[in-house]
Structure 1
Amino acid sequence: MAWCGAASGVELLPIFGNQRDITMATSEIIPESGPVHPSGGTVYATPYIAPAHGFVGLGERPKKFNEKDFKRWQQKMLFYLTTLNLARFLQEDAPDLGENPDRQTVAVVDAWKHSDFLCKNYILNGLDNALYNVYSPMVNAKALWESLERKYKTEDAGSKKFVVDKFLDFKMVDSKTVISQVQEFQLILHDIHAEGMVLGESFQVAASIEKLPPTWKDFKNYLKHKRKEMKLEDLIVRLRRIIASPRKRPIIIIKKPRQMWSSK
């Protein structure tokens, strides 16, 4: 933690806030020459982003990432780091010391490195042991975060393709109940939505109608020519009514193959 010496040089006070706040605060507390510590050295104020320990409870720490559902884990970790005032280190590079830096510049850079170290290790501790060993050599929080994104966002893109393929390949059959298959199709639609792909309800209804089994051909044509838009819930209610009514239920006709008889 960075400390600021009071004017008497006896008590050390922690400095919080951004660089502008620190500059304003230290201009009132520290003379240009800097206060003198009892040991004889000058004490310089350095910026430090204080973790908000009073705001975050231990229960809010994200569960360890085990290569599943990266997007959700990333969002939770980002929120966690934000509550600790450390999220900015996911995008920042270390400040440049420049040539012949003075002590205060060195102290500022050291304080930045300390906060970056905290941010990096919060992320590492959010990985399971196998991933921790892989990513622990990363030089800073930004490099670690970007490396995780490059690997697992690409894999997320692969999972999107998998869900889309399931959607396109899904076909209802006569050997299963229509309602159970509609519910199965709804789960696929839910997976598509979870991957960030938004499908309008009209499209979902049209797709569900198109997926109905072959024996529902007349009903499919009837719905296609209806001008009034229908919600997915309305479609399911109508299907339930049809199934509950034997007179309206489509009849499955099974044709037996002809037997060929030969005279001896």
Structure 2
Amino acid sequence: MEGETIKIMNQDLVRLDRFDGSNFTRWQDKVRFLLTTLKIFYILDPTLAPLPEPKENDTPQVVAARKKREEDELICRGHILNALSDRLYDLYTNTNSAREIWEALENKYKAEEEGTKKFLISQYIDFKFFDEKPLLPQIHELQVIVNKLKVLKIELPEAFQVGAIVAKLPSSWKGYRKRILHKSEDYFLGRDSKTSSH
């Protein structure tokens, strides 16, 4: 009874952003957390054995287990569909299995994110600072690219980022760039601190 109350209550307590085709990994993590909290994420496990056909001589335990599994499947499917935009809801509403919906979304949008990863990596590598533009907005633009990479779980070590930023400085900063690269200190992003390496 308590589990059912939690499943009903969560409709009012948890409002997930509706997935519209962007930020799939973030959306998937949030839905995974919700379904795990509700103890129904197991429904999406690809190794989960299918339910056996009902038999007349099934024990009450088998009947109860089948009923619970069918309810969990329905609730899991409903939560996934309710977390989709109207366009995607209409596209997947005729898919009967929660696992089929989950896998179809993964197959489509993980591949798209891989393309996005390559695009963002290319943007990061090609990024250059220009003298003609104010420096702070350019730094902000680079930080946005780095944050998008982090969302896609591509972490750049801080020492690498500092080196990349120094290398991307405009030619008018050549003297500063040489000084930084030849110092024996490690510089960090977003802090005034530096440490000496011995």
Alignment TM class, shorter chain as reference:
0.7 to 0.9
What is the TM-score of this pair, normalised by structure 2?
Answer: 0.83
Instruction: Find the residue that maps to 2:187 and give its secondary structure.
Output: coil
**Cα distance in 2, alignment partners of residues 137 and 57 from structure 1:** 22
Amino acid at match of 1:173: F
Are positions 1:150 and 2:107 aligned together? yes
Partner of 1:129: 86
Q: Following the alignment from structure 1 to structure 2, what is the Cα–Cα distance between the partners of residues 179 and 159?
A: 25
Say whether the 8 Å CA contact 2:25–2:152 is kept in structure 1: no
Unaligned runs of 5+ in 1: 1-13, 17-48, 237-264
How far is 1:59 from its partner?
3.5
Q: Deviation per CA, 1:75-94, whole angstroms, max 9, x where unpaired?
A: 11122222222111111343
The structure 2 residue matched to 1:102, chosen from 38, 57, 79, is 57
Contact 1:94-1:109 at 8 Å conserved across structures: no
Larger Rg: 1
Q: Distance in 2 between matches of 1:118 and 1:232?
A: 45
Greater RCO (CA < 8 Å, at least 6 residues apart): 2
Bigger shift: 52-61 or 109-118?
Answer: 52-61
- The CA RMSD over aligned residues, in Å, is 2.5
1:79 alignment counterpart: 33
Q: Find the counterpart in structure 2 of residue 202 from structure 1.
A: 159
Partner SS state of residue 56, structure 1: helix
Aligned pairs, number: 189
| Structural mapping, 1:1-264, within 5 Å | 50=4, 52-53=6-7, 56=10, 58-91=12-45, 92-97=48-53, 102-104=57-59, 105-106=62-63, 108-233=65-190
Determine the C-alpha separation between the residues in 2 that align with 1:232 and 1:75: 28
- TM-score normalized by the length of structure 1: 0.64
- Which structure dedicates a bigger proportion of its chain to helix? 2
Distance 2:186 2:22 in 1: 38
- 8 Å CA contact retained: 1:52, 1:85: no
Partner Cα distance (2:148, 2:131) in 1: 25
AA aligned opposite 1:66: D
